Structure formats: C-alpha cells, structure tokens
C-alpha cells in the first residue's frame, strides 16, 4: 500500500512522541476509522490509528491471485449525501474511482425478474485502492489489538492485548463493529447501553475463476435464493484486467447457520448454489475459494453516529448509517467532527448523560 505510514508492533507509545496538538486515538482502520482520522488530522489533531489486521481496509478488501484480483468484500459504492458526492468527484478527477456501467439485475431461479438501475462506482484498479487513498499519510499501527481503554483525568489510556500500554490520548474514536466496540466502552455510559442492543450479521463470500466467459447477459445480480443474495462478474469492473472472475455473497441466515464450517465445505455448497442461481450447466472453475466475514453487515436499525462528549469518545462504522461504504465514510467524518468539537467544547454530541 503506497504513501501509508504503517507501524508494525512493537510500536513506540504515541504519548511519548513530542507534540503540542491534542492527541486522538482511532481504533479500527476500515473506511470509517480512516475517514475519522483524516477528519481529525485536517483539524490539527495528532492522530494515531490502531488496527488488529495486517493492512488497512476492513471489508473494503481485495484478494490477489495469479488469475487476477477479487473484490471479495464491498462490491461497489453509491453516493447520495452531498459530502460523499464531493469526495467521489475528487477521487474520480484523480483517477482513483470510476463508474461501473455493468448491467445489474434482479434474479430468481435463473430468470431475470427486473433491472436494478443505479449509478455505481468502484475504486480502481481494485476496491482496496479506495482505502489506500484514505490511509495516505496516516500513522497506522497494524497488527495491534486494543484490549482495553481506560478513561481518567488525563484522557484515555489504551492497552494492547499483550498488556503493553499504547499511550494516552485526549480523545478516542472506536471504528469497530458494535460487538468489538462494546468491551472498550466504560460502564454506565449511554453509548455502552446502545451498543448492547446492536448486532452484526455474517456473510460467506465465494470466489470463482473460469477459463472462458460465462454466457450470462448481466454483470451483477441481486439474488432471491436459499443461499445467495448477490453475484457479480468481478472481472467486468473497470481496470480489473483479463479473465472471468465472479464473486458471490451468501445471505445472512445461510451464513449464520454455517458460521463455523470450514471454508472448503462452504465453497462446495456455494458453487452448487451459484449454478442453481444462474441456471447454467455446471463447469469446473480454475479457482475456487470461500472467505468468511463474521461481522459483515449491521443487523439493526442504524442509530446514527454516537458520541459521549464529556469523554471525547465517539463510535462509528457502517452500522451507524445503514451498512454501505458511504455510510461508513460519513459516520467516520461525523465521529471525527464530534470528538474535535468535544475537545474544543463546541459540539454537544449524540449522547451526553451517564445512565
């Protein structure tokens, strides 16, 4: 990933780095976390991002193989909010985003039952390039799991899973699914009580490559099926290179029932569902794999972006705004603005009272 200050553990605690700017920690380096970090950095704060993964991105991810790439997480993004529309326009001018003109349909039992017209965008040359732009120039501590966050009169003390102190910060943004954010929120806060009511649904993803083009007159489909909810000709997206590569996403209930199955077993079942869904005669793929997203989609009404201003604490993620990339980006923007306002005494925030 280019232009990103990736800091692998052991990292020097951020509190020991001399700076006169207020310090803010962001936990999670997906779209929401990186959007929050950018927002805070643009307002003059010293930001450190901590992420348990090997590289930024969360579900805005791409798997690379010898046969080409697969966007096996987020498939595309739309823009409805004026702020995100402006961001996409900027990225299009810079050549990092392109419209995806693929034909997307509704599909049931192999038959097209409708067309799903919409202006869809993708990052180029792969979906994780969008995250690369968000991460540019940021200090990101990868493979660093934050196990505890302790507030006191001096701010927030973050502690790693190893027990090592990661530093003290004036503000904190939790850019995590509700289940992962909950343990880091102190008791007796309204934010904690809200997070307890939220849940995320899983999703198994299927990756397929073929040695010849499949005779299907569409590039993506919303599926009505016992197993699948979406299929897409991933290689048809702009700048994806040659080949015939497909990604399929299983529906939440099917995925939950097989959450702990091994990937080979799930892949075999999803391949059968793929042929049933497309009504094509089965053929042998040259590549087949399954990937489990355990916390893939919000499974509750979006609550908006919550903040505890008295502690300069905010939470964000796509679960705040309905599960789309745009929602993740907007919630990160709002969380960054809320923490900045709380530290400067200008924003009341979503929550203010202890419960």
Which CATH number covers residue 276? 3.90.660.10
The Cα 136–Cα 125 span in angstroms is 16
Task: Kindly report, residue by residue over 283-333, the tens digit of the pLDDT.
Answer: 999 999 999 999 988 888 889 999 999 999 999 999 999 889 999 999 999
The reply to whether 277 and 163 lie within a common domain is no
The Cα 258–Cα 261 span in angstroms is 5
The reply to whether 20 and 98 lie within a common domain is no
Task: Kindly report, residue by residue over 258-279, the tens digit of the pLDDT.
Answer: 999 999 999 999 999 999 999 9
Q: Is the pLDDT of residue 107 over 70?
A: yes
Strands 313-315 and 68-70: unpaired
What would the two tokens of residue 107 be? Answer: 């599909």
Parent domain of 270: 76-126+200-298
Task: Kindly report, residue by residue over 116-143, the tens digit of the pLDDT.
Answer: 889 999 999 999 999 999 999 999 999 9
The reply to whether 157 and 15 lie within a common domain is yes
Mean pLDDT across the chain, nearest whole number?
91
Does residue 349 form part of some domain?
Answer: no
The reply to whether 139 and 38 lie within a common domain is yes
Query: Of 131, 163, 134, which is closest to residue 146 (Cα–Cα)?
Result: 163
DSSP conformational letter for 99 = E
Give the residue with greater pLDDT, 52 vs 109.
52
Work out how many domains the chain is built from and give that number: 2
What would the two tokens of residue 306 be? Answer: 């919550």
Cis-peptide, bond into residue 333, ω within 30° of zero: no
Task: Kindly report, residue by residue over 153-202, the tens digit of the pLDDT.
Answer: 999 999 999 999 999 999 999 999 999 999 999 998 999 999 999 999 99
The reply to whether 280 and 136 lie within a common domain is no
Q: Which residues of 230-251 are buried (b: 16+ CB within 10 A; e: fewer)?
A: bbbbbbbbeebeebbbbbbbbb
DSSP conformational letter for 77 = B
Task: Kindly report, residue by residue over 328-347, the tens digit of the pLDDT.
Answer: 999 999 999 999 999 998 65
Does residue 103 form part of some domain?
Answer: yes
The reply to whether 205 and 293 lie within a common domain is yes
Strands 228-233 and 111-115: unpaired
Does residue 41 form part of some domain?
Answer: yes
The reply to whether 177 and 325 lie within a common domain is yes
Q: Is the pLDDT of residue 13 over 70?
A: no
Global pTM exceeds 0.75:
yes
Give the SS3 label for residue 184: helix
- Mean pLDDT score, 26-48: 97
Does residue 69 form part of some domain?
Answer: no
Does residue 316 form part of some domain?
Answer: yes
The reply to whether 282 and 220 lie within a common domain is yes
Residue 336 belongs to domain with CATH number: 3.50.50.60
The reply to whether 313 and 329 lie within a common domain is yes
Cβ count within 10 A of residue 153: 4
């Amino acid at each position: 990933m280019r232009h990103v200050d990736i800091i692998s553990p052991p990292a020097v605690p951020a509190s020991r780095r001399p700076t006169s700017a207020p310090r803010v920690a962001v936990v999670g380096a997906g779209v929401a976390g990186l959007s929050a970090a950018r927002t805070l950095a643009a307002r003059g704060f010293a930001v450190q991002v901590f992420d348990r993964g090997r590289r930024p991105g969360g579900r805005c991810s791409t798997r690379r193989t010898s046969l080409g790439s697969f966007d096996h997480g987020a498939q595309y993004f739309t823009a409805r909010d004026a702020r995100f529309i402006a961001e996409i326009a900027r990225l299009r001018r810079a050549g990092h985003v392109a419209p995806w003109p693929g034909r997307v349909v509704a599909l049931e039992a192999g038959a097209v039952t409708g067309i799903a017209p919409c202006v869809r965008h993708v990052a180029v040359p792969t979906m994780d390039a969008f995250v690369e732009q968000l991460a540019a120039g940021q200090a990101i501590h990868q493979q660093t799991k934050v196990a505890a966050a302790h507030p006191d009169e001096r701010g927030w003390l973050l502690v790693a899973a190893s027990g090592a102190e990661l530093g003290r910060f004036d503000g904190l943004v939790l850019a995590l699914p509700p289940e992962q954010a909950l343990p880091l929120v102190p008791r007796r806060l309204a934010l904690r009580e809200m997070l307890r009511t939220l849940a995320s649904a899983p999703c198994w993803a299927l990756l397929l490559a073929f040695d010849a083009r499949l005779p299907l007159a569409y590039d993506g489909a919303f599926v009505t099926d016992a197993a699948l909810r979406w299929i897409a000709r991933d290689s048809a997206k702009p700048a994806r290179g040659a080949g015939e590569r497909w990604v399929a996403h299983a529906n939440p209930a099917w995925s939950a029932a097989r959450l702990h199955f091994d990937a080979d077993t799930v892949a075999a079942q999803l391949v059968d569902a793929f042929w049933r869904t497309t009504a094509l005669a089965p053929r042998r793929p040259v590549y087949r794999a399954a990937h489990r997203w355990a916390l893939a989609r919000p499974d509750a009404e979006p609550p908006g972006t919550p903040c505890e201003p008295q502690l300069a604490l905010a939470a964000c993620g796509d679960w705040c705004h309905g599960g789309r990339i745009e929602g993740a980006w907007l919630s990160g923007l709002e969380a960054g603005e809320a923490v900045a306002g709380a530290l400067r005494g200008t924003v009341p925030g979503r929550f203010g009272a202890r419960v």
